[in-house]
Amino acid sequence: MTAPLTLYYAPGTCALATRIALLEADAPHDAVRIDFAANAQRSPAYLAINPKGRVPALATEHGVLSETPALLAYVAQRFPAARLAPLDDPFAFARMQEFHGYLAATVHVAHAHRRRGSRWADEAEAIAAMQRKVPANMAECFGVIEQHYMGSGPWVMGERYSVADGYLYTVAGWLEGDGVDIAEFPKVHAHFQRTGERPAVRQALG
């Protein structure tokens, strides 16, 4: 028997997307909470697991993986019976990866300027200036998602639910705190409500 996977996560973070994917796949796994309030992501013990000092990280029998797009593709490929990605359609799979890349490299980074501005500047005024840009930048990103990635639904990849849906749900859940009304984006809004009703999502949040 193979050892269960271990997901390192913190509540309210992008690690939710991988937790949802693992639950949707019915994948045996342990979930280990990293206490951000205690800065445990910077502790020597956690840095030995993920030297980036970030969540998520997923320990597998082959080693530790990080970066949400990689984890989502891994879960989908490792548990193909769950059909969480278009594994035999190269274009559709690349399109899903394109979406994941946009969420990770552009949308998540825009969001991070609200509370993690000290990554990019030391001066309080520079950090405050970056924070003021967050609502406009997040609204612009979700305008792109609404217009170019939502298609005819009901899911990001069309008729079939995929790991991309839990990822979009996770990032869309940050909009309110970022000062953006999700109702400005009707397709994203309906998707957020639809996804939030899934048992795996409820369990991941519980």
Ligand X SMILES: N[C@@H](CCC(=O)N[C@@H](CS)C(=O)NCC(=O)O)C(=O)O
Strand segments (E) across the chain: 5-9, 29-33, 57-60, 63-66
Strand segments (E) across 23-146: 29-33, 57-60, 63-66
Q: Closer to ligand X at the Cβ: 14 or 96?
A: 14
Contact 185, 143 (CB under 8 A): yes
Q: Using CB under 6 A, which of 23, 25, 104, 150 touches ligand X?
A: 104
Write each residue from 13 to 32 as x if it is in contact with ligand X (CB under 6 A), else as -, in one continuous string: xx------------------
Q: Using CB under 6 A, which of 23, 55, 82, 110 touches ligand X?
A: 55
Stretch that binds ligand X, among 53-61, 126-134, 153-161, 179-187 (CB under 6 A): 53-61
CA distance to 21, 74, 80, 125, per residue, from 28 (Å):
12, 14, 14, 47
Q: Using CB under 6 A, which of 58, 65, 68, 107 touches ligand X?
A: 68
Long-range (24+ apart) CB contacts under 8 A made by 195-201 are 195/165, 195/166, 195/168, 195/169, 196/169, 198/24, 198/161, 200/20, 200/23, 200/24, 200/166, 201/20, 201/23, 201/166, 201/169
Burial of residue 176 (CB within 10 Å: 0-12, 13-18, 19+) is exposed
Q: Using CB under 6 A, which of 19, 29, 54, 191 touches ligand X?
A: 54
Minimum CB separation of residue 88 from ligand X in Å reads 26
Stretch that binds ligand X, among 23-31, 47-55, 175-183, 197-205 (CB under 6 A): 47-55
Say whether residue 41 binds ligand X (CB under 6 A). Answer: yes
Contact 188, 145 (CB under 8 A): yes
- Token pair for residue 180? 């953006």
Q: Closer to ligand X at the Cβ: 22 or 187?
A: 22
Say whether residue 154 binds ligand X (CB under 6 A). Answer: no
Minimum CB separation of residue 9 from ligand X in Å reads 9
Tell me the number of residues near ligand X by CB under 6 A: 12
Q: Using CB under 6 A, which of 116, 132, 148, 202 touches ligand X?
A: 116
Q: Using CB under 6 A, which of 6, 43, 67, 189 touches ligand X?
A: 67
Q: Using CB under 6 A, list all residues that contact ligand X.
A: 13-14, 41, 53-56, 67-68, 104, 108, 116
